[in-house]
Structure formats: C-alpha cells, structure tokens
C-alpha cells in the first residue's frame, strides 16, 4: 500500500535535471506552484503545461511513472472537482434534481483540476529526480538563515533523513508483527471499518514500542560516533552551485516573469 | 598505563516505581579493575546480565561510573571536556545493525563520524575509502544499507567507526543477531583490524568460538571479573566455566571429556588442529 506512492520515490537515471543542485529544484518547484495560483486564464495554463512538459522531457523520467503517482490523489481530485462543480453559485447550465451545474462552477472546477494535477506532477518531478538525502540537504541549506531566529534547521533535516531511512525498516517490521499476530489468530481483514480499526491496535502497540527502542539505540549509536548537533560539522557531500544551476535559475526567473506578463497582457485585453 | 584502564569501577542501576521512589538498586558492575594495552585483542565473556555490556558502555563514556574511575587513553571519562576525545578514540559497534546505521547510502554512513568531528571534505572521502576497503565493503559503497545482509551491515558499522581513526574499538555483541556466515565475516574483519592496523579490539560476546582469537579473555559474572587470562588458561578451567553457565568451545569440551575418560591429553586445547596433534602423539 505505502509502496505505491510515487511522491518521495527516487527514479534512478542520469539527466540534466537529476544533476541539478537540490536547492535549484526546490526553488523552481516553489516558483512553479506560486505561478499556478497567479495564472488567471487559459493561455497561462498552456505556458505552465509547456514548462512542465519541457522539464519532464529533460528529466528522462517515463511519463507513465509520473501518472502512476497521480493515482493516489485521484479521489481528492474528484472530490474537489465535484464540490466546485455543483456548489458554485452563478448562471445555471444543467440542473438535475437538486444539483445545479453553473457556468462559473465549470470554470472553477476545471482550473482547480488543472492546478492540482500540475502541482502534484511538478512536485513529483522534484522528488523523482532528487534523492531524499539531497532533498533534505537542500532544504537545510535553503532554510539556513532561519537559524538566526532559533529555528532548529539542522535538527529538523536530520530527523527527516532518519525518518526516510527508517521507513523501509518499519514497513518490514509491520509486516513481521502482522504475520505474528495472524499466526495467533488475529483478524485484520473482515468486519466493518470500526472493527478493522480496532484490530489494528495489536499491530500498532508493538510497532510503536519497537520504534521507540530503535530510536533509543540509534541515539546512543549517534552519540557514540561523536554526533553533537550541527555545530562544527563538515559535510561529506557539500552542495555546490555549477554553471548549469545558474542557467536553471535563469530559466525559472524567466518563466515567472513570462507568466506574470501574460496575465497582465490578457487582463488588459 | 594502557589504552583503557578501570580502577575499582562500580556501576549501579537504580530502579524507580511510578512515583519516582527508589525501588531497588542493582549493582551491574562491582569492583572491576582492568588494564587493556594498546594493540590487545580482548574478549569479554559472560552470560546475560553479567554486566559485560554495561562495562563496554563505560569505555565509550555512554555510562559513567557510580564509584571508581575509567581512563581511556589516559583521560578520565567523567570529565566532560574529554567526552568527544574519548568517543573518538574508543569507537563502539552495537548489537543491532539496523539501529546504528544512519546514512541511506553505505558511504554516507561511514562518513557520518568524520562529519561530526569536523574533518575537511576531501579527507572524509579518503577515510571512507580506506575504512570500507579495510572491512572489504568498498564495492558496496553506493548501495542502500537496507539491501545488505546482517554481516555486511555490521562490517559497514565497523567501517563507520574506523573512519574516525580510533585507537580502540569496542564491539558489543556484534554477532548476536547474525547467522553463522555473518558472524565469521564480522570476526574476520575485527581480527584483520587488530593484526594489520594494530587497533585495540574489545570484543564482547557469548560465542566461545569467537573468543579463542583473543590474546586475553575476561570472564564476567554478576558484575565481577571471575576469570582472566589467555584463551588456553581460561578454557582449561572447564568445570568453573560450566558453573558460570558458560559453554566452552566444542573442541575443548571434547578434549576435556576424553581426558576424563582416561586419555592423557594436555589442558587448554582450543583448536581442532591442536587436538589432532595431541591425539597423534598418543600412539
């Protein structure tokens, strides 16, 4: 179940996008998401789509792979579209029973659907082309200025990378506990939702206990290896900007200006 | 003075009930004196609850003595200013391989210790390469630790410690969760370190077969040192070991039983070859 989510899964291949500095990719993703919410007309979405397609082509990640990640948000997408379609007041087009589809509703629903799917595709491109470790490194460096106001940036990124490392281990452990409980007659399959949720208790309690024990062991192992927070720590793989990163920044800036300009121009028209 | 020295060391675990009142005190280590020399290979034996792991944690300043003193490389572990020196000089490998690997790629995990010490990037890479080669895991440097076997994971853990250039490595039951092949890999790596690099190794184990490679064995029971000596000396005292609920290596046991049955064999046979030679002399 958890293994199917593409979001946060790295696709191993070699491409320009893969080689970019994680900071560039993070910033570009943020800019892209912001641009999606600034776009107010059809042409703007076309520009965003072209930008996205261009990046997908450059990244060498197969398109089906990205679409697979979309499945996990399909339900969310349908609900959002449905609500917007039926609950927006305005000029009615079709009316069935108590549900009315309005012109404004169609417009908002369509733009919502496009925005959401672009947002997910855009951020999965980032996670598909960046190793989780690189990503946390990039985040740590980008948020570094926040250290001045006592935000524990290093600690948070360390926690994130440890969490990522332990996901497969805890999944395996869940599987083991599940099998052990099934062997003793536990039933995780039948019954209604409440019964199913209750049957998870004998799974979650041992899982949590073991997670705490692991955390304790890991903390000791880290201290034994001289870990003392982010101070005076050097990096084995420090982040360094290359020429391609500046070019990518340039492209992103150009894209942002372009999207804003298009919004303005067509607004005037 | 040796690399690790303990004088009149005692450690008490205090058990408390829910309100925080003292329920009882367990003396996990009681009056232990130790002197480990640079370059030694020491095995510490004892059954569960004998205090051997607690003793190991004192050598890395994870636990502090209740009474007495521990010196690592001449530095008192109780002094806070030496804490990081001590942890760098006395590296520690723990039992569960999954719970001590921090990196998501083998080489990143090995680099974790040097990163913490503030070593320049270029030197970190040199150290990572050299330590992975020392344990024979260099070709796995780009792998995810989750895909390695238990023995390989423990070797990565050992490499992670060596990369800090310690004078001494303490292995706290590193083979307890491994299969026989994994156990052999880990012990081979530890012996190579000791013989080639001259690193002091303190191996805590309850597998007697691993202890025969040590040049000194310490047997613990109820927090005290019960026996101390070379493997030959210790394993010739079969009766005593049995009383402490410890096994002896199979070969030693066989020789002991043969001797009891009337064959005039020498004491302290610990390898199959020795037994074969001794039996040949019988004719």
In a domain, B150, yes or no: yes
Q: What is the mean pLDDT of residues B159-172?
A: 92
Q: What ipTM goes with this model?
A: 0.85
**Cβ pair A214:B99 closer than 8 A:** yes
Q: Has residue B11 been placed in a domain?
A: yes
Instruction: Say what the pLDDT of residue A218 is.
Output: 92
How, if at all, do strands B224-229 and B216-221 pair?
antiparallel
Asked if residue B78 belongs to a domain, the reply is yes
- Indicate the pairing of strand B4-16 with strand B67-72: antiparallel
Query: Using the 8-state DSSP alphabet, how is residue B98 labeled?
Result: G
Residue A18 lies in a domain: yes
Instruction: Please report whether residue A179 resides in a domain.
Output: no
How many domains does chain B contain in total? 1
CATH number at residue B12: 3.40.50.300
- Which domain, by its residues, includes A49? 1-130+239-269
B124 falls within a domain? yes
* Residue A68 included in any domain: yes
What b/e string do you get for A225-237 counting C-beta neighbours within 10 Å, with b at 16 or more? bbbeebeebbebb
Residue B257 placed within a domain: no
Host domain of residue B77: 4-248
B contact residues 47-66, partner A, Cβ 8 Å cutoff: 60, 62
Q: For B80-99, how does the pLDDT look when each residue is reduced to its tens digit (9 = 90+)?
A: 888 888 888 999 999 988 88
Mean pLDDT of chain A: 83
Q: What percent of chain B has pLDDT over 90?
A: 22
Average pLDDT over residues A154-182: 86
Distance from CA of A238 to the nearest CA of B (A): 8
- Each residue's pLDDT tens digit, A94-144: 777 777 788 888 888 888 888 888 888 888 888 888 877 788 888 888 888
Residue of B88, B99, B127 to mutate, testing the A interface (most A Cβ within 10 Å of its Cβ): B99
- Report yes or no on A54 lying in a domain: yes
Q: What is the mean pLDDT of residues B251-268?
A: 84
Q: Report the number of distinct structural domains present in chain A.
A: 1
Phi, psi of B159 (to 5 degrees): -60, -40
Return the number of CB contacts < 8 Å for A and B: 89
Q: Which residues of A touch B101 (CB under 8 A)?
A: 165
List pLDDT tens digits, range B100-149.
Answer: 998 888 998 999 999 999 999 999 999 999 999 988 899 998 888 888 88
Rounded CA separation B1/A254 (Å)? 68
Residue of A nearest to B98 (CA): A169
B275 touching A (Cβ < 8 Å): no
When pLDDT is averaged across residues B189-215 and rounded to a whole number, the result is 88
pTM, entire model: 0.80
**Residue B164 pLDDT grade (very low, low, confident, very high; cuts 50, 70, 90):** very high
Q: Is A251 a member of any domain?
A: yes
Q: Which residues from A are below 8 Å from B84, CB to CB? A: 226, 228
- Tell me the chain A residues in contact with residue B154 when contact means C-beta distances shorter than 8 Å: none
Residue B15 lies in a domain: yes
B243 or A1, which is more confident? B243
Cβ separation of B60 and A224 shorter than 8 Å?
yes
B108 lies in a domain? yes
Cβ–Cβ gap A224/B146 under 8 Å: no
Q: Is position B160 within any domain?
A: yes
Instruction: Provide the sign of the torsion angle of the four alpha carbons A246, A251, A252, A254, taken in this order.
Output: positive
Instruction: Convert the pLDDT of each residue in A136-160 to its tens digit.
Output: 888 888 888 888 888 888 888 888 8
């Amino acid at each position: 179940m958890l293994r199917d989510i593409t979001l946060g899964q790295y696709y191993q291949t070699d491409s320009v996008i893969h080689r970019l500095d994680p900071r560039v990719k993070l910033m570009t993703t943020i800019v892209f998401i912001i641009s999606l919410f600034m776009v107010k007309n059809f042409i703007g979405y076309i520009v965003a789509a072209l930008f996205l397609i261009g990046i997908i082509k450059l990244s060498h990640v197969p398109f089906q792979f990205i679409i697979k990640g979309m499945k996990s948000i399909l339900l969310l997408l349908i609900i959002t579209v449905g609500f917007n379609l039926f609950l927006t007041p305005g000029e009615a087009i079709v009316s069935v029973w108590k549900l009315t589809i309005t012109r404004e509703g169609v417009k908002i629903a369509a733009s919502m659907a496009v925005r959401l799917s672009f947002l997910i595709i855009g951020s999965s491109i980032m996670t598909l082309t960046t190793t989780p470790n690189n990503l946390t490194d990039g985040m740590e460096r980008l948020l570094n200025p926040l250290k001045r106001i006592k935000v524990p940036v290093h600690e948070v990124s360390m926690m994130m990378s440890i969490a990522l490392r332990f996901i497969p281990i805890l999944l395996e452990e869940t599987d083991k506990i599940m099998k052990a409980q099934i062997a003793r007659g536990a039933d995780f399959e039948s019954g209604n939702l409440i019964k199913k949720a209750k049957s998870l208790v004998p799974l979650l309690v041992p899982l949590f206990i073991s997670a705490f024990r692991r955390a304790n062991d890991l903390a000791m192992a880290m201290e034994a290896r001289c870990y003392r927070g982010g101070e005076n720590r050097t990096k084995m793989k420090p982040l360094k900007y290359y020429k391609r990163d500046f070019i990518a920044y340039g492209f992103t800036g150009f894209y942002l200006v372009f999207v804003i300009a298009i919004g303005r121009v067509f607004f005037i028209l | 003075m040796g690399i690790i020295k303990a004088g009149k060391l005692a450690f008490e675990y205090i058990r408390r009930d829910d309100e925080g009142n003292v329920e009882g005190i367990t003396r996990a280590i009681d009056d232990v004196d130790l002197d480990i020399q640079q370059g030694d290979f020491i095995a510490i034996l004892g059954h569960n609850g004998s205090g051997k792991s607690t003793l190991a944690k004192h050598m890395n300043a994870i636990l502090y003595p209740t009474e007495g003193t521990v010196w690592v490389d001449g530095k008192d572990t109780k002094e806070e200013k030496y804490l990081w020196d001590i942890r760098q000089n006395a590296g520690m490998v723990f039992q569960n391989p999954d719970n001590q690997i921090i990196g998501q790629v083998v080489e990143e995990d090995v680099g974790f210790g040097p990163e913490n010490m503030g070593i320049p990037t270029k030197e970190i890479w040199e150290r990572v390469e050299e330590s992975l080669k020392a344990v024979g895991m260099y070709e796995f440097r780009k792998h995810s630790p989750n895909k390695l076997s238990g023995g390989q994971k423990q070797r990565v853990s050992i490499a992670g410690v060596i990369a800090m250039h310690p004078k001494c490595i303490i292995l706290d039951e590193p083979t307890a969760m491994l299969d026989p092949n994994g156990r052999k890999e880990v012990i081979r790596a530890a012996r190579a370190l000791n013989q080639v690099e001259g690193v002091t190794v303190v191996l805590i184990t309850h597998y007697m077969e691993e202890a025969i490679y040590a040049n000194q064995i310490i047997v613990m029971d109820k927090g005290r040192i019960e026996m101390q000596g070379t493997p030959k000396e210790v394993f010739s005292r079969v009766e005593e070991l049995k009383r402490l609920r410890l096994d002896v290596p199979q070969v030693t046991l066989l020789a002991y039983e043969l001797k009891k049955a009337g064959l005039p064999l020498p004491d302290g046979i610990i390898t199959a070859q020795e037994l074969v030679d001794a039996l040949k002399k019988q004719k």
